[in-house]
A and B are shown apart, each in its own frame.
Chain A
Amino acid sequence: MKKDLKKVRNIGISAHIDSGKTTLTERVLFYTRRIHAIHEVRGKDGVGATMDSMELEKERGITIQSAATYCSWKDCDINIIDTPGHVDFTIEVERALRVLDGAVLILCSVGGVQSQSITVNRQMTRYKVPRIAFINKCDRTGANPFRVTQQLRDKLDLNAVMIQLPIGLESDLKGMVDLVAMKAVYFDGDQGEEVRIEEIPADLRDEAEAKREELLDAVSMFSDELMEAMLEEAEIPESMIHEAIRRGTLSLELTPVMIGSAYKNKGIQLLLDAVNAYLPCPTDVENTALDLDKEEAEVVVSNNPDDPLVALAFKLEDGRYGQLTYIRTYQGTIQKGETIVNTRTGKKAKVGRLVRMHANDMEEIEGAGSGDIVALFGIDCASGDTFCSNDINWSMSSMHVPAPVISLAIKPVDNKAQINMSKALNRFTKEDPTFKTFVDHETSETIISGMGELHLEVYIERMKREYKAEVEIGAPQVAYRETITQRADFDYTHKKQTGGSGQYGRVAGFIEPLEEGEYEFNDAIVGGAIPREFISSCDKGFQKSMAKGVLTGAQITGVKITINDGSFHAVDSSDVAFQLAAIGGFKQGYGKAAPVIMEPIMKVAVEGPSEFQGAVMGSLNQRRGVIIGTFEEGNYTVVEAEMPLAEMFGYSTTLRSLTQGKAEFTMEFATYKQVPKGVADELIKTFEAQKKDA
């Protein structure tokens, strides 16, 4: 079961929504003979693309979950993660990127670098993922791969170099010139499965020569041999150019640009060749883990299949046969029947069924070596957990998980729905760390929260379809927070004497703003003013107080509490008494500490034709936005702004009517900021009214 790791590719395919990644993946699977027919995303045959296995995805034509799939092309094994394009699902994209070694960044030849491409590119840069750019949809009217390549340089700051030249464009797209081999490539047959290689057409000869020069210039800096060969004007072997491109790509200093049309079956085989030739194999990339036995010291994983196992569970799915856990192995080998340890919980588990996934179908396997992506059955864990062999205790570095910014109350319509709903919620929260749920004890409503309106909508849909749980939905609520802005002292005595044993506890100290972190408790009691055993009671009391702020009932964050004095009673002091004293003390201090309301601020990018720039800026300005900047190129413009989330409900409708549907926007969470006075007063008033009603 030893595999040559040089022949393994773990790649992702990511792009802006609707750039055609699913269509492209479908072609890849077809040409690698994993599937025997091509189904279109919005196909008339009603089957839908293979990777879009969830019903909802088929209906909306978008991919929500990243299904992992496996195929082999020529002599390489390729694991593909199909990643979602919408920004609301970025946790999925980020998780997928964490386990990838390389990626294909798909761009639309007409739309070019769109806002989502920018987000995805930033994420790829964060996780240092080498990438190839593929300019898709070259058959569409207005296709201009040269402009898109320039945008890759300008907007994404990539050293993008075309390694192909289109032969014809738009409806005239016939094939492409391979600038490395200097040959024309055409795709024959109903589904482009026959690759025909010919001489470059005479009319493209000069352009091809010029573009090849550009390519050689750009890649020569990654290869001394190539540089020398060029200086000597010697014949340059193809393999030397490939090697130089590969080095440039791996160092993230070069992005080869390829072109084609997945829908018209053009260019996909060449893209697969490039994946094999330029993208890294697992040993080319250095991954690090944290050694939990050595205070989380960083260790480099070895990729050696003979070392102890380290594997990361990056995705959970509730399949037809129970929980399916996608894992990526970083070193060691996972074998059926072996015992592995979840280093987060310390629980041991036995590897039962081990499968290789292909969208919805699977293939049983006996074991998988390091660098592979496979799925496990019947292992209980959360995504992001690390599995190791018995002898080591490592954890793959924790992934960056943003806090939810929006929430909704949901109510099941009947008893059956109630049961199904809790099943569904249990599953979703395990699968997706940005999706959270809890029951509000005051209203006994179930609250779900996540990263955006669409994010929650999708889960509600899934509840309906997959779990048959009909729910009523409340209005979306912004996750406000409260914090304090100055230091304040408190000194509170809780005393109660109502027959039987009384309650007594006094707590004194101060609260102050905490720049980083949510809560800190500092015990500065000397001389036993509060007995040891009641210190934790105080801590508990303070933490309870943090759950609901005084102003709007929102969660309180960023508070440091120090206790430095107190008193107790030999008989009447108890855990409860000190908790209540702490709660009283907190209230006393909080009121004096100038509490304020904070709201989530989103980074919003609106893009569309320049003629609408004024209108777009006006609409953002009306919604309490701060416009950061604008970018203009030709007749295309992007406006970037920081917007309060509370003002963004229904913005897509406004934008559509404002721009005749020609502009679109994306948003992602940026930070929390203090709510302006007028808005804060309004929020407090509403909260007071609610309290009275209750």
Chain B
Amino acid sequence: MGYEPLVQQNPLRVLNMGRENNQLGLVMARAGLGKTALLVQIALDAILRGKRVIHINIGESIEKTKSWYDDILQLILQEHSVAKPHELIDMVARHRMIMTFKIAAFTRSRLEERLNDLVLQDIFRPNCLIIDGFDFESNGREALEDVKNLMESMNMQAWFSARCHREDNRVSPAGVPAPCHEIDDLFDMIILLKPEKNATIQLDIIRNYGEQVTGEKGLLLDPTTMMVKES
């Protein structure tokens, strides 16, 4: 598609993404550190690699979710020159679908129904799901296993976001904070966003497709643009 340079230059290449379909990823942070910004960059990277993404946002509007993509895409276009920016914007629109749910309206069975609607009618065949706003505090291990099974049966990758709290000190042996400290084994990739003293936000890659990462090349989020950068 001619976007290989964009894909190759993406600092996210450090992650072992796109190796396998049925893997589960997790982005964790306290409120306001840039979970959605990171998820959207992961989604855009998948789209540039020719994948189709469904962005599920629980508790947010279509409009807001869409503007995340528009903003980040603009930033990418500012940094990298692309021959026909309109074609890229168009391509992204065609490879992305947004599904928003009221918090109470989101269930696994409904998600499965919706995905089947899309796949059976050949409207949209997603390779990757972004699930933003999944309620880890009231959904237990079973609910997540359920979603994992669904991803496996539909041959998809899924990325979750989870919010942790400053006052909650529970942590799993691998270093994954609550509310995911008891289910961290279900994820193949875990990124923790940590605020640093110099106002940047460090990407602490706790697990990278099974491998424990020893800080070779660190990544951070630029605090003004929320774009991933090499540190």
A605-645 vs B, CB cutoff 8 Å, 1 = contact: the mask equals: 00000000110011001000011111111100010101000
Using known A-B contacts A154-B61, A154-B102, determine if residue A628 contacts B93 with beta carbons closer than 8 Å.
yes
Q: B77-103: which residues lie under 8 A (CB-CB) from chain A?
A: 90, 93-94, 97-102
Closest residue of chain B to A629, judged by CB?
B98
B49-76 vs A, CB cutoff 8 Å, 1 = contact: the mask equals: 0000000000001100110000000000
- Report the Cα distance A663→B11, complex, angstroms: 45
Contacts of B97 in A (CB 8 A): 627-630
Q: Indicate if the CB atoms of B100 and A629 lie closer than 8 Å.
A: yes
Q: Indicate if the CB atoms of A633 and B105 lie closer than 8 Å.
A: yes
- Residue from the list B66, B94, B101 in contact with A632, Cβ < 8 A: B101
- Report the Cα distance A506→B109, complex, angstroms: 71
The secondary structure that dominates the B interface is helix
B115-142 vs A, CB cutoff 8 Å, 1 = contact: the mask equals: 0011001011000000000000000000
Q: Indicate if the CB atoms of A629 and B117 lie closer than 8 Å.
A: no
Using known A-B contacts A613-B117, A617-B121, A621-B121, determine if residue A630 contacts B102 with beta carbons closer than 8 Å.
no
Q: Indicate if the CB atoms of A630 and B105 lie closer than 8 Å.
A: no
Contacts of B93 in A (CB 8 A): 626, 628, 642
Determine the interface band of chain A, counting residues with CB < 8 A from chain B.
Answer: 20 to 34
Using known A-B contacts A613-B117, A617-B117, A617-B121, determine if residue A626 contacts B99 with beta carbons closer than 8 Å.
no
Q: Indicate if the CB atoms of A617 and B62 lie closer than 8 Å.
A: no
- Report the Cα distance A642→B62, complex, angstroms: 13
Whether, in the assembled complex, A348 has its beta carbon less than 8 Å from a beta carbon of chain B, the answer is: no
Whether, in the assembled complex, B114 has its beta carbon less than 8 Å from a beta carbon of chain A, the answer is: yes
- Report the Cα distance A640→B62, complex, angstroms: 8
Closest residue of chain A to B64, judged by CB?
A157
Closest residue of chain B to A633, judged by CB?
B102
Contacts of B62 in A (CB 8 A): 628-631, 638, 640
Contacts of B98 in A (CB 8 A): 628-630
Q: Indicate if the CB atoms of A618 and B123 lie closer than 8 Å.
A: yes
Q: Indicate if the CB atoms of B105 and A634 lie closer than 8 Å.
A: yes
Interface centre among A629, A631, A634, A638 (most CB of B within 10 A): A629
Contacts of B124 in A (CB 8 A): 627
Q: Indicate if the CB atoms of B100 and A632 lie closer than 8 Å.
A: yes
Contacts of B19 in A (CB 8 A): none
Q: Indicate if the CB atoms of A157 and B61 lie closer than 8 Å.
A: yes
Contacts of A155 in B (CB 8 A): 61
Shortest B32–chain A CB gap in Å is: 18
Q: Indicate if the CB atoms of B61 and A632 lie closer than 8 Å.
A: no
- Residue from the list B66, B90, B118 in contact with A628, Cβ < 8 A: B66
Shortest A205–chain B CB gap in Å is: 29
Contacts of A632 in B (CB 8 A): 99-102, 105-106, 110
Shortest A480–chain B CB gap in Å is: 18
Contacts of A154 in B (CB 8 A): 61, 102
Interface centre among A154, A631, A642 (most CB of B within 10 A): A631
A653-694 vs B, CB cutoff 8 Å, 1 = contact: the mask equals: 000000000000000000001000000000000000000000
- Residue from the list A629, A633, A638, A642 in contact with B65, Cβ < 8 A: A629
Q: Indicate if the CB atoms of A617 and B118 lie closer than 8 Å.
A: yes
- Report the Cα distance A614→B113, complex, angstroms: 9
- Report the Cα distance A154→B102, complex, angstroms: 9
- Report the Cα distance A95→B187, complex, angstroms: 54
Shortest B166–chain A CB gap in Å is: 25
- Report the Cα distance A281→B105, complex, angstroms: 42
- Report the Cα distance A617→B115, complex, angstroms: 12
- Report the Cα distance A617→B62, complex, angstroms: 16
Q: Indicate if the CB atoms of B117 and A621 lie closer than 8 Å.
A: no
Shortest B74–chain A CB gap in Å is: 15
Q: Indicate if the CB atoms of A614 and B121 lie closer than 8 Å.
A: yes
Q: Indicate if the CB atoms of B102 and A629 lie closer than 8 Å.
A: no
4 tightest CB-CB pairs across the interface, nearest first?
A629-B98, A614-B117, A629-B62, A633-B102
Taking Cβ atoms with an 8 Å cutoff, the residues of B that contact A are 61-62, 65-66, 90, 93-94, 97-102, 104-106, 110, 113-114, 117-118, 121, 123-124
12 pairs across A/B with beta carbons < 8 Å?
A154-B61, A618-B121, A626-B94, A627-B97, A628-B66, A628-B98, A629-B97, A630-B99, A632-B105, A633-B102, A634-B102, A640-B62
